[in-house]
Structure 1
Amino acid sequence: MKNRILSHDASRRSFLKRSGALTIGFTLFPVLQADAQQGPANAMKPVTDEAGHRFDSWLRLNRDGSVVFYTGKVELGQGILTAFSQIVGDELDVAMTRLRIVSGDTAQGPNEGVTSGSQSVEVGGRALRTACAKARARLLQAASQKLGAPATALKVADGRISAPDGKTVTYWQLLGEDLETAAPAEAPAKPVAQYQLVGTSVPRRDIPGKVTGAPAYLQDMRLPGMLFARVVRPASPGAKLLSFDEAGVKALPGVVAVLRDGSYLAVAAKREEQAIKAMRALKASAKWEETDSLPPSGMDLVAAMISAMPVQTTVINEKKGETPAGAKTLEALYSRPYQAHASIGPSCSVARFSDGKMEVWSHTQGVFNLRTDLSKVLGLPLQNVIVRHRESAGCYGHNAADDAALDAALLARALPGTPIKLQLMREDEFGWEPFGSAMAMRLRGAVDGSGRIVDWQHEVWSQPHSMRPGDSDGINLLSSWYLAQPFKAASAKNVPPPSGGSDRNAVPLYKFPQQKVVNHLITSAPLRASSLRTLGAYGNVFALESFMDEMAALAGVDPVEFRLRHLEDPRARAVIQAVADKAQWSSQPARGSLQGRGIAFSQYKNQASYVAVIADVAVDRASGDVRVSRLTAAVDAGLVVNPDGLRNQIEGGLIQSASWTLREAIGFDRRRVTTASWADYPALRFPDVPAVDVVLIDRPDRPSLGVGEGAQGPAAAAIGNALANALGKRLRDLPFNAAGVKALIA
């Protein structure tokens, strides 16, 4: 499709005309979500592909020498805006100091769906690279005409284009030319060999402000006349508000408003400590009607998931064959608990309602999805809701950030013209955020006399792993369910293939002659669950790779050799061999020594980065505490954009997984979540952090692959396999807490 100069709305179009800016829009990937907002009637019609997906301006060159690039992906602490800057700088041949970024803004940027699934560099980076290649082609063609030299003979350095005869012109001098038709039909990206920035460890753009204490986070925002707010969550899920002391709370110092709408209750005050005091008073006076609606806990939860909860059963993958006579068989049941995002800072949002328009600042991972649900709940036209991302405490998944945005918007609507900053309390975050779903995985298998797997069966029981805002058949914002005119939550559904949700990574990459993978999606959620980093891959890879070790033991084969003999993908084999070489796999501790070593592998979503992990653990005989002393990983993520950033992602994933695997689980009884503070939710502390060693396999001839969620699953399984190696017995239920481990020590 022909390139066009695009604008988002009439005012922006007018600005571009005045400034002479070059704006690039193009048709790209059909996986990106369409933006339902069509803009004002007099706006230029946006370019769309055959499926109707819209792609607005990704790039703007200004006469002042600056370059603005737009992305729908947002910074969550993973360093993607730095990586994007490297891609843009290289593809355009401009210095990174010229670059400015607009990220996650529904009023300006492209709709790239949600920042999730480790797709930022893989998909968002590809989008920017394509936009820059097309912009560069336009500019070079225009320069060719102006300088009288073939475009192929021109060279560019920081936006200055030079001809062989020494004549030059800058990008900025070309902005007045007719650039719309200047580019050829095809504008391929640069060869990797010409990159100067991609492949280097450029320092992160976002770190200096965070280190020096500059205003960097959403919590730092201050707007003139802003009020501070708190919400009072129900006493338990499904509870109905009967009464509260409204007059007494309104009389407290600084209180400006108390908002009740059905069972929704919130307060706004002039100062933050006044809002907290008023919230505590409201909470103490509130009377609720409650029921026991939550499931049993512990192993009773696993039993209930398998036999008592309503499920939708789907065969995900099946390959039929025959199990030979005499094959050795094995069956095992694994489980993971409900786990929290456990953001260091509780969720926050700022909202302002003025002239019929709602403006919201949020650390949501999906600004467009959130805008859709806010529009429905508030009864506002979609174009009258603007959501802008602001960075906050990292969460990597659907935590309470979107809920806080609705809470702030409800108060802002009640107090027009007044900015509202609403922050959750720690007990709100732990008690009401959408958790990573508990899971049960039952595996069965058989090995023949030659030590090869001849049958593989994998069943998984789980709630959905993505109940984010933006669903077409319901509202996935907590407070909307408690209003006087409540909205219904979206129905349970799985993330479609190939990514998958509860079944993510359940299909083995190994080659077996007979296999069957079945997903039992729990359709009536007893506890709220949604996206936690890796979705179902954490539980499925833990079970799959633990079972591979158990099958290797059944066959009497070394775990590394056993995996290699069942793998055909050369990249999968390479990461396993690389991590085995780096960690000197042959020097495994003796089984039963209370020191152990284990290996695990996966390709995230069977289509993203390849990661193999070796864990070294030691068990304290007296206490049963497990210490992970070292985690070694090998990673193949295709073309590496920023080596240091990639290592950071893998290192963080390894440590996060170690915490999940050894410590983390949400507590609850039949009425409410009992985890309310850090004391109730043990997480890995600094003295317990293992040493990490990451080997990168750079493949500059292959596309970049998503890496952020690649390490969590194999790290958990590697720790589990190392623990079995240390104890001579296996724990199959996460987390591996001291009580469970001590019970196995002879």
Structure 2
Amino acid sequence: MNDAPERPARRRFLAAGGALTLSFALPLRAAPDAPGNGTLPGSLGKAPWLDAWIRIGADNRVTVFTGKAELGQGIKTALLQVAAHELHVDPGRMSLVSADTERTPDEGYTAGSQSMQDSGTALRHAAAQVRALLLQQAAARLGVPAAALTLREGVFRTFDGRRVSFGELVAGRDQHVRATGALPPRMPGAPRYSGVDVARVDIPGKVKGHLAYLQDLRLPAMVHARVVRPPSPAARLLEVDTASVARLPGVLEVVRDGRFLAVIAMEEWRAVKAAMALARAARWEVPATLPAGRPVADLVRGLPAQPEQVFARGVAGVTGTAGKTLRARYVRPFQLHASIGPSCAIARLEEGRYTVWTHSQGVFPLRRALAELLAAPEESVHCLHMEGSGCYGHNGADDAAADAALLARAFPGVPVRVQWMREDEHCWEPFGPAMVAEVEATLGPDGRIADWQYAVWSPPHSTRPGRAGNLLAATHLARPFAPPAPRPIPQPQGGGDRNAVPYYALPNARVTHHFQPAAPLRTSAVRSLGAYCNVFAIESFMDELAREAGIDPVAFRLRHLADPRAIEVVRLASAKFGWDAYARSARRGRGFAFARYKNLAAYCAIALEVEVALDTGFVRITRLDAAIDCGEVVSPDGVRNQIEGGILQSASWTLLEQVRVDERRVLTQDWAGYPILRFRQLPDHIGVHLADRPGQPFLGVGEAAQGPAAAALANAVQDACGVRVRDLPLDRARMRAFATKV
């Protein structure tokens, strides 16, 4: 995802008093592969210098650096635990700097559930190697063998009481050392900080109402701005009276550049009122270009596509005498990120230098895009990440940063704050792509799947910045930047075809991805990308096949699994739920689903029960048990939080969420038009059960639950009332429509 050219120049400096030097090995581009073949593990391949990750001050405090961003997933806490575990230092004595283009390694985007496997792995190796180097120096200074030293809280001690601290050892030394990729063993008696629950570092400020989110940041002399968007993507600005708006009280500047309209004011409410006035003063031509009234499946299947076979095994199309063949089609609508807090950014232009505070998930790619947009040297743009109020994926954060940067250029010298309104977020963020999956499978006489044919159609799942044309405002300027042509994300990561390859041992299988570069709505990454739809389709169809074969759905999956870890999580989830002893009751049913995220990250199996009222269309998960294997668990509570959050988000998508449009506008502009899961629909019980594997590689967990949760929910609905819903969402209108068929 990060294809900038290699630039060997690096900043290196010694902190006052002699600290471990912090060198920003940004932007080395060595490819990270497994250790042992000459390459480095995790993100060490991108920044292979120890002092890009760890800094020890003269006061003996440790600062940890990561290019990954805190999104509410608890990654700051987990990464501190990793470093603390290897350095044998309490994480409370450490601080962490994240996602800052002038201070941290460039780790691209915080996406794809890769923070632990990339940054966590890099920090584990860097911290362990720093400890080993300091141990050698301590042994030499104290004149004892390294094995004779103990280490506690950054201080080495001999048996006779002599001591030397990390800070003393690094004083005046240049510790700019290249990482080796080796993982030195921990010292005897070292405290354990990994695999245990520690207090989240990001929670106290949020609970106490302290400054936690970018939306709450207020800088000295800051002014406020609002952008007036066109009524629709194809709208053409005919005329606008900016003079009358410029005369309004408190208005500092009215900005027009092509279709990009904005106001800057002394106070936020004055900016809001001025933006409303500017919207009334604009006259637009709004052509009817949106696909109103078309069924999602027809719309998606009708888009131009670039087919590619992404998986092939065995003989194509084994049918006929092998057994019975089933076919089904599954549909996902366009969906929103629906961030609780609309996007925000602050930018300042001072002495030719831009500083941008942003909740983007990729500050380095954003910096490159902003530099192109502003026709400025990349070094003159400084992007700092600060948490935003709710988002997983490519929402409006980067676009808000572009708005702020453009307005800072128009009004230099002070910070310019751009806060999107709710209708901005709902109408203009990149949407989650609508998708269609068609699957055909043949059951053999033994009740096993003899043949599997799968095809998925999907618009792009990644149009994240990296280029100016990926930024909304850049496409509205008088001299617009064209969006770069989107490209499919290759396997095994995948985009629309993420998790389209089933994880089951099938003798004959074909999977085809129909990538659709042009869609009627702007699309990009929503949490788990195509995995949500593909796992929903595959695991729903597995239930349909199990029913046709007359086999219990869990047993049917087990007979098609070969990976012992997959088998273990399936059995764990079913046992914790009490699958074999389940007692049915009126309007209730059970469902099951399994997937390994991206077929290379965390394993997740979910068993749940739903309650269905077809007369009202109301569906609610009553209880749920999930089993997760994400390799070594650093933060058990953090993993549970991620799985619980993923389940609830998926339940909201699956039961409620869909974008609606007419011929000219997006209609789902607020929470009334785009409802999300409410408290009354939450399960009474969610149990998350961890299959911890100490010493095994970290596996991404943040997006492991979304697909299995959707499929288990649909499977439970079928079990409860005999209704098989293949088109999402399972909202009240769709469920009531089935009432007459039952």
Q: Could you state the TM-score of these two structures normalised by the residue count of structure 1?
A: 0.93
Q: Does 2:672 correspond to 1:673?
A: no
Choose from 247, 254, 258 the match for 1:258.
Answer: 254
Q: Does 2:345 correspond to 1:355?
A: no
Letter in 1 for 2:79: F
CA distance in 1, matches of 2:249, 2:392: 38
Residue aligning to 2:657: 664
Q: Give the aligned CA root-mean-square deviation in angstroms.
A: 2.4
Q: Does 2:254 correspond to 1:284?
A: no
TM-aligned CA distance change 1:58 to 1:238, over 3 Å = same
Letter in 1 for 2:20: A
CA distance in 1, matches of 2:242, 2:606: 56
**5+ unaligned residues in a row in structure 1: which ranges?**
1-5, 34-47
Q: Does 2:537 correspond to 1:543?
A: yes
Give the SS at the match of 1:666: coil
Choose from 449, 457, 476 the match for 1:461.
Answer: 457
Residue aligning to 1:580: 574
Residue aligning to 1:40: none
For the Cα contact (< 8 Å) 1:430–1:675, is it kept in 2? Answer: yes
Deviation at 1:557, TM superposition (A): 0.8
Q: Does 2:553 correspond to 1:559?
A: yes
CA distance in 2, matches of 1:245, 1:182: 61
CA distance in 1, matches of 2:398, 2:107: 17
Choose from 155, 159, 166 the match for 1:171.
Answer: 166
TM-aligned CA distance change 1:373 to 1:737, over 3 Å = same
For the Cα contact (< 8 Å) 1:8–1:108, is it kept in 2? Answer: no
For the Cα contact (< 8 Å) 1:91–1:189, is it kept in 2? Answer: no
Residue aligning to 2:20: 21
For the Cα contact (< 8 Å) 2:592–2:608, is it kept in 1? Answer: yes
Residue aligning to 2:303: 309
CA offsets, 1:207-252, max 9 Å, x none?
1100010111112222221100000011101212121121111111
Q: Does 2:81 correspond to 1:82?
A: no
Residue aligning to 1:57: 52
Choose from 679, 683, 690 the match for 2:676.
Answer: 683
TM-aligned CA distance change 1:162 to 1:22, over 3 Å = farther
Deviation at 1:505, TM superposition (A): 0.2
Residue aligning to 1:37: none
Deviation at 1:191, TM superposition (A): 5.2
Q: What is the count of residue pairs matched by the alignment?
A: 720
CA offsets, 1:594-632, max 9 Å, x none?
211010000000001000001211111421211111121
Deviation at 1:134, TM superposition (A): 1.6
TM-aligned CA distance change 1:732 to 1:57, over 3 Å = same
For the Cα contact (< 8 Å) 1:32–1:111, is it kept in 2? Answer: no
Letter in 1 for 2:138: A
For the Cα contact (< 8 Å) 2:19–2:173, is it kept in 1? Answer: no
TM-aligned CA distance change 1:50 to 1:400, over 3 Å = closer
Choose from 470, 473, 477 the match for 2:471.
Answer: 477
Deviation at 1:187, TM superposition (A): 4.3
Give the SS at the match of 2:711: helix
CA offsets, 1:450-492, max 9 Å, x none?
1000011111011111110015xx6210010010110010212
Residue aligning to 2:619: 626
CA distance in 2, matches of 1:181, 1:677: 52
Residue aligning to 2:442: 446
TM-aligned CA distance change 1:15 to 1:142, over 3 Å = closer
TM-aligned CA distance change 1:185 to 1:32, over 3 Å = closer
Letter in 2 for 1:100: S
Q: Could you state the TM-score of these two structures normalised by the residue count of structure 2?
A: 0.93
CA offsets, 1:718-737, max 9 Å, x none?
00000011121301000001
Greater CA drift, 597-606 or 487-496? 487-496
For the Cα contact (< 8 Å) 1:24–1:60, is it kept in 2? Answer: no
For the Cα contact (< 8 Å) 2:19–2:55, is it kept in 1? Answer: no
Choose from 520, 526, 529 the match for 1:532.
Answer: 526
Letter in 2 for 1:57: A
For the Cα contact (< 8 Å) 2:366–2:466, is it kept in 1? Answer: yes
CA distance in 2, matches of 1:92, 1:52: 22
Deviation at 1:295, TM superposition (A): 2.4
CA offsets, 1:82-121, max 9 Å, x none?
0111111111111222211111100111000100111111
CA distance in 2, matches of 1:181, 1:280: 55
Residue aligning to 1:41: none
Give the SS at the match of 2:52: coil
CA distance in 1, matches of 2:687, 2:46: 46
For the Cα contact (< 8 Å) 1:305–1:461, is it kept in 2? Answer: yes
TM-aligned CA distance change 1:466 to 1:444, over 3 Å = same
Deviation at 1:366, TM superposition (A): 0.2
For the Cα contact (< 8 Å) 2:24–2:103, is it kept in 1? Answer: no
TM-aligned CA distance change 1:687 to 1:329, over 3 Å = same
Deviation at 1:31, TM superposition (A): 5.0
TM-aligned CA distance change 1:369 to 1:130, over 3 Å = same
Deviation at 1:697, TM superposition (A): 0.8
CA distance in 1, matches of 2:23, 2:386: 25
For the Cα contact (< 8 Å) 1:375–1:382, is it kept in 2? Answer: yes
Deviation at 1:184, TM superposition (A): 10
For the Cα contact (< 8 Å) 1:32–1:112, is it kept in 2? Answer: no
Q: Counterparts of 1:221-240 in structure 2 under 5 Å?
A: 221-240=217-236
Choose from 713, 718, 723 the match for 2:712.
Answer: 718
Letter in 2 for 1:653: G
Letter in 2 for 1:174: L
Letter in 2 for 1:125: G
Letter in 2 for 1:503: D
Q: Does 2:204 correspond to 1:208?
A: yes
